[in-house]
Structure 1
Amino acid sequence: MGKPTFEIDNRVATRALLEMCKRLERAWALDDILHGMTPAIEDVLGYRHSWLALFGHPPGFINVISHVDSGQAQKRDVKSMNIPVAGDAMLEELLTADHVVVVEDARTDPRTNKEVVAHLQNRTIINVPLVLADERFGAIGIGTFGDIEGVRPPQPWHLEFLQTVAGHVAVALDRVRFMAARKKAEEALQQTLDLTNNVIQSMQDGFLMLDTQGILVEVNPAFCALVGFTREELLGQGAPYPYWPPEEIGSLQEAFSAAGEESFAQMELILMRKNGERFPTFISPSAVRNPQGQTVNFIATVKDVSERKKAEDEIRFQALHDELTGLGNRRAFDQILSRAFAQTRQSDQHHVMCYLDIDEFKVVNDTCGHSAGDELLRQVARLFTEALRGDDHLCRIGGDEFGIILQNQTVEQAVPVAQRLQAGLANYRFAWQSQTFGVGVSIGMVALDADSESVEALMQAADSSCYVAKDAGRGRIHVYAKDDQALTQRHGVMEWVSRIEHALMHDRLVLFAQPIVPLAPEATRGLHCEILLRMLDDQDQLVAPGLFMPAAERYHLATRIDRWVVSHAFDWLLAHQADIELCSINLSGQSLGDTPFMAFVLQSLGSSGVPADKLCFEITETAAIRNMHTATHFIDTLRQRGCKLSLDDFGSGLSSFAYLRTLPVDVLKIDGQFVKDMAQDPVSLAMVKSIHDIGCLMGKQTVAEFVENDAILELLHGIGVHYAQGYAVGYPQPLDAVLAQYRAGLLKRT
């Protein structure tokens, strides 16, 4: 078969181009462009095969879009394939060409990729570059395939016609690309809007949008739920909005105006629900601007901070209130006192400060436990509150201590109030399980007026006055006065506190010892002594314990002193244990009930290597009876470790013998008030004998204190008391001096 020839006049070509242009104007996609140009090429040029070639999608490839027969009349499908540029000289030329690239026979032309040619069955290939505004974005092509169509080189007017078609296709392709890009951008924008709207609608915080006139144009469900209004009720509303509380309109209008002036500070505001309920919010406003920077909307997120505010209020309340009683605490009292003091500086106001200490609280606490003590404090707090005016301030400022500020009262007016508080407690009985207790209160009172020196001075004066009231017999009221002799004495006690602190810090305490002599000579197996304590003053003179220990007991320094004594006594005993039979160490009542002190003693016993059987701890009868449960535990614990326990001043209490059966001590030290008079007083003699007899009956050893002469020694021999201690058998001396006397055999023998 010979090659077909086609002749056509300009009118046919022009009409075909016009029809093509109409189709290209309606093109919305690449397929539309291919469908638009193919009829013109077929009708005018007679080539059945045409295609669009697009550069760089994906990179390194040319994407070819062409028709393929569908097998149905009047219908041709479109296929797309990517052809690699590398190794294909024809495609490489096409990427940069500004002319028509013609391959008469792809099978023989050296520029073609023969693998691709063999696959596609190309013969003649004609490609016209698509160039618009110096941008190369593809080509249109026509050609023949296989042996049936064979080789068909183009005529010159074919190329001119193809270049005309390429110009129109380039414009259409640019428009399609633009519309595709715009559609993609619109879809992306819509996705962003949809996402933003979904985020806003699903936000747990409220969201609102206003136009530049302050009209609500959008709210999210969370905001509607916050304020209780529907979206329909809110949209279109302007300031003042229905969720503005009437009493807050001024502050809200000010905040709204600031936002309108684009001052977008975060703020806390009170809003109102539809039902009238007020609630605190945290609002974060901002502006929405167009590309020109002009504000087109105002937006804000609204967070309900009711729970946070509630938690903050709770924290503030706890910071200023006593958890047990609900009263103000020490910090609150200090603030109230400072305000009252400031009032006296600014005007002629008079207030009264009271410092209250509950009498017998420790008895309830130790006897029935902390739960009982806590309940007692709660009940006392209620009694005090009921007895005071609404303007007065009552706070719990310590364990069993309360502070009161009586507003606009003189001391003369305040004394009856204090008496009323005492009377209320006097008529009150605290019941716990099967036990009932009477409770009192000691009150220190100080005027708070223009003559008051400072808040600190007021606290010190009230505290000192309260202790003076307590020292006077409890259940008393003591009014502070600058020339008060009782307060002067108390300040003297406070001076001892300072000196004790200095002695502990700078090791100004000294250990002495006094021999305890067996009244049966054959019982001697080593030195038996009691450790005693002295303090060195600034001139290195010795200070007797009777001068400083009352202050130590009163201000809770006794346990620290006991720790010092135990530590140094252990060191001395360990160094001289071969010469010592038994070393007695006095302990205060405070140490008896101090759990950390017990742990300290046990730890020291374990780590020091001191033989426990050479130790005897002395506790007074009154301390043991006052802390019976604690004393019993203390005694049992140390006895289990091998130590001995001695009950000092035995017989001084009214019920000594009754308690003796419950206190598992090893030694009874007979109270010196009986021993020193036993040679002249038959009753004292009988008491000493009774104590010794009961002690022996219970398997305990006895020690007589205050043995001051030979007459007493002789009587003790006759009774059978086991040991004697006093000036008649040995004076208190430094530890090493007593030990030296023992080694030299100079201690008195009985």
Structure 2
Amino acid sequence: MTALVVLVLLAVTGVATYVASEFERNERSDRQRSLAQRAGVVLERTTASPMRQAETISWALSGRERASGDTFDTLARRALPTQPLVSAIALSERVTAGGTRYVTRRQVARGDSARSLASRTVAVAGDDPRAAALRAVERVGVTRATRILPAGTSALAVYSPVLDRQNDVAGAVLTVYDTEAVVGALRRTMPRSVPFTVTMNGRPLPGADDRPAGGITHRVAMAGQPFEIVVGRNGDASGLILAVVGIGLVLTFCLGLLTFQTQRREEWAMKLVDRRLAERDAAEERFSAAFSHAPIGMAVVSLDGDIVQGNAAFAAMIGAERNRLVDKPLADVLVPAERDWVADSLGMLEPGLQRVVHAERRCLHADGHIVWTAVSLTLTRNGTGQPEHLLAQFEDISDRRRYEAHLKHLADHDPLTGLYNRRAFERELDRHLERVRTDGAHGAAIVVDVDHFKQINDLEGHHAGDDLIKAIARGLRQRVRLGDVLARLGGDEFAVLMREGGRAEARHLANVVLDAIREQHIVTSSGRTRAITGSAGIALFDGNEEATGETILVDADLAMYDAKEAGRDRIAEAATAETRQAGTRTRLTWMDRIRDALDDERFVLYAQPIVSLETGDTEQYELLLRMRDEDGEVIPPGAFLSVAERSGLISRIDRWVVERAIDLLAASGAGGPTFEVNLSGSSIGDEVLLELIERRLKETGVCPKRLVFEITETVAVADVPRAQAFAARLNELGCRFALDDFGSGFGSFYYLKHLPFDFLKIDGEFVRDCARDATDRLIISAAVDIARGLGKRTIAEVIEDDGTWQQLRELGVDDGQGFYLGRPEPVEHVIKAHMREAG
């Protein structure tokens, strides 16, 4: 009986050995075939995105006789960091003199090897490996791929024509693949023990294994080149068979023992299975609860890109029902222009090039509106390390994007009129000047200033002035041509960038702008109607190679002041390139007048009181600069300060004001007033000015605390570290600082952190209407809280009535300044009055 059992067991072992060998062979073949197909898909996905990038660069450079190197550099530097498998992108120009050849003009590369690979001249009729592809480009104008072997280095290159017609080929875009990185990407999709090789045109790529025996071959055609992926066997095929034979023999020997232990092991195994199932169910329950109730949108996505499951937040985000999300392609959730991103991301995640892909993408809501989202894609793998599915997370960032857009708008636009501000206008000038140099464009810059605007502000108040500025802005918007740029440079000064046309068109447009100003009227407090006029200056883009956006604006500004000198309500043109070279006086008029005023001591100082809102006592005075002309008439700072800043004379003026202020403080004695002195941004950090202040304070013995330096927060400080050292030194001397126009821009908080201010002067834009406007009161209250938290005092500007004064007191503002509290007067009169009150 025992012999019979042994024979039966041996027979069963033999049959089992045969079945196991057949099963293992079939399983191995299916596995090899699956791995080869998967490697082909990964190869296609990982190379698809670089090919699209090359095509995008090619089309961006098409249509020009000579491809723009700067444009190529910008596109290539933007593309290369997002393509781990690309080692270089190069731009070659087609040259026909002395035989058709391609000369590499530009290249962006990761390493020296890739750079040397791209930097070559290729003759189309030569034997260089790239010549065949370039000849194909010459014939049919299509994207081609070929294999290059310079200096023993293997790579893939993609060529595309710059233009789309056979006879107009201007060059080619070369994309050089890092073949070892390609092979590495494929290796990450293979189990470690499986050998494989990858060939192109029958030649293996570097980094792959030798061609395995008994391998399964999968063929892929990409960019006109045949690729073969050969996957070999996983380990020794005899392992399972030997295991089956061994088990059969052990079963024969241990039959009795196994019979005894069977029931006991079955009971233990069932308990283990129950425990594992319970743990799995608990984990799935936790994931399901977190997934379903997550506050952000989440979706489980198959490797084919279809949604398997989406949570309620995701369905609500795109306005869809949860049950209708199943089997919907994830790409369909995005706007059409961004749908390739899903496939590109899978091409990065599946081979392990990235663990997580983050991006900001636009989702399309069911009702048609755009939802901006921050998207994260994560690839999950099973226990064997094979890709299983994607987990997508969507966070709605529409509010943040709107806020960023609003901040960007505020940074580039005037808050009163909504027009471009000076910063944005100068940027547009520089862009147009580049077009003038490269494409031969024409055009002009027109600067317009409202005549006698200061009198309107002084006599009728800032409300009337602001209303007039807004009305003029509306009129200009209606008349300026589509495509031209309109801006408010500041105060009552507007500017127009005319992008097309010459002198005649510029004069016509300037007349149109002046007509818009002439249509405005203002009713004075006496009931009379007052006509409004303006003066315009024109600066043509006349091909001057040394011109910049700033110099063009200076020319137009100077021409505008020439129009004012000629009688106002008229147009003046800036000097052309020819007359400028001949040295005409038009450009230099105001700069010469400023120099003459400095040399002839024709600058004068006025002082406006700064009053304690609590006690009514005058705390200190702000010094205001004026200039007297040759006839003794006082000229306001708006007429000359902008010219002084652009011409570099502002530093000399600042030094004169500071020295004069210290002398006045010394003359007034120890009981004299405290002065606030305005400094331009270019003077902050001026070593000459710093030396002057130290020397004069030491020579006169003036208490440094009586000298407060004021800087406007909208004035750019070019070198903040240098300004920090400048302010720290003055602070050591005992001088104080005030930050003017606080809240009117976005530099305030940065300056507060890095410069030692003692006073915050709240911009008049928020002060004028604070008695009626809750938003203004909220901003002022916030400024007061910030100042108190930093141990600073607050000063409110432009106080024009009793109601505003009372409201500011309630809000906790410390001091005030404005016509209601005191008008500017010559500083000598102010000192005498102050000394009388003190004595």
Larger radius of gyration: 1
Q: What is the TM-score of this pair, normalised by structure 2?
A: 0.42
